[in-house]
Amino acid sequence: MTRPTTWLAALATASLLITGCSANTAASPAASSSAPSSPAASSAAGKVVTLATDANYPPCESIEAGSETMIGFEPDIWNAIAAKIGVTLKVENTDFDSLIPGVQSGRYDLAMECISDREAREKQVTFLDFIYAEISVVTTEKYAGPINDTDPLSVCGETMGAQTGFDTVDLIKNEINPECVASGKKEVEIKEFPDAPATYNALYAGRVDFVVQDTAAAALLNKTAPVKLVIHENSKLPKLYLGMIFNKDNAATIAEWQKGLEAIIADGTYAEILKKWDISSLALNEPGINLATTRPIK
């Protein structure tokens, strides 16, 4: 399995790319074959498709240390789908909070960055959901506060760090904080940061008490973080769908990518990718459109 050798080096490289050339694009070599592979080849063959991401979030996607190569389970998935439907990908690395507006405006054909499908987001873009996510509360071993695995409201009164644009902010504001108040506790204080490196650095330095993190990402981050992380279960945090997002009016592109996704599930490629990244338990073998509302997780 190919992964960043040092998380901080990967973050530094990714940050440089985003800051210095956020408008730059790169054709994805794995998806640039001129001959689409069956059975999903279609009228999309030969097209150039612009895909946006924020490569700061392993194992979703990140920049491999010492190179400009983007790695992760999502690049593996988007390259496999692109090869199936015969398109060339132009991947643009940008800030997370520009992904939805960029897709809405037509600047990007689609975006992927472990984007959680929420009803509010479905009003802005169309989701093609392809994997589950489980989320946890993450502290460091230096943290000596009340957060624990048994009391989901033990986060009340503590300070959370979050990247701007992440829906963990709304999750805490709308679902956790009202329960904190109802229980006679202080609300969670939220501090937002412009990107993932700044968010994690605040956690490492103790400027925030915790972050809410995809469990798989937290486990990977713990292997290379400068301080040991502690991953806490929290029953108030829901299991989610993650999806690629499209302009709501781009029905043809959505259909092509759904066809390609179903093809890589059928031929075993999808399962191989998830196994490679140790996330087989998150497989969504029946993908679909806007599943947060059309097939809610119970």
Predicted confidence (pLDDT) per residue in 165-217, tens digit: 998 999 999 999 999 999 999 999 999 999 999 999 999 999 999 999 999 99
Beta bridge partners of 288: 129
pLDDT of residue 41: 52
User: For position 14, what pLDDT does the model report?
Assistant: 31
Whether residue 1 is predicted with pLDDT greater than 90 in this model: the reply is no
Q: Is the predicted pLDDT of residue 256 greater than 60, yes or no?
A: yes
140-172 pLDDT, tens digit per residue, is: 999 999 999 999 999 999 999 999 999 899 999
- Looking at residue 145, its pLDDT comes to 98
CA distances from 198 to 114, 120, 263 (A): 19, 26, 38
Q: How confident is the model at residue 63 (pLDDT cuts 50, 70, 90)?
A: very high
Structure token digits, residue 275? 């196994």
Phi and psi at residue 40, in whole multiples of 5°?
-95, 0
Q: Could you give the CA distance from residue 155 to residue 189 in angstroms, rounded to a whole number?
A: 10
Whether 110 shows a pLDDT value over 90: the answer reads: yes
User: What is the predicted pLDDT for the residue at 298?
Assistant: 83
Instruction: Say whether 135-232 and 7-131+242-294 share the same fold.
Output: yes
CA distance 244 to 129: 6
**pLDDT of residue 269 exceeding 50:** yes
The whole-number average pLDDT for the span 235-256 is 96
Q: Residue 135 corresponds to which amino acid?
A: I
CATH placement of domain 7-131+242-294: 3.40.190.10
pLDDT per position as a tens digit, 19-54? 223 333 444 444 333 334 454 555 667 899 999 999
Residue boundaries of the structural domains of the chain: 7-131+242-294, 135-232
Instruction: With a cut of 90, say whether residue 127 has pLDDT above it.
Output: yes
The pLDDT value given to residue 248 = 98
Class of domain 135-232: alpha beta
User: How big is the chain, counted in residues?
Assistant: 298
Residue 216: partners with Cβ closer than 8 Å, 6 or more residues away: 59, 133, 134, 277, 278, 279, 282
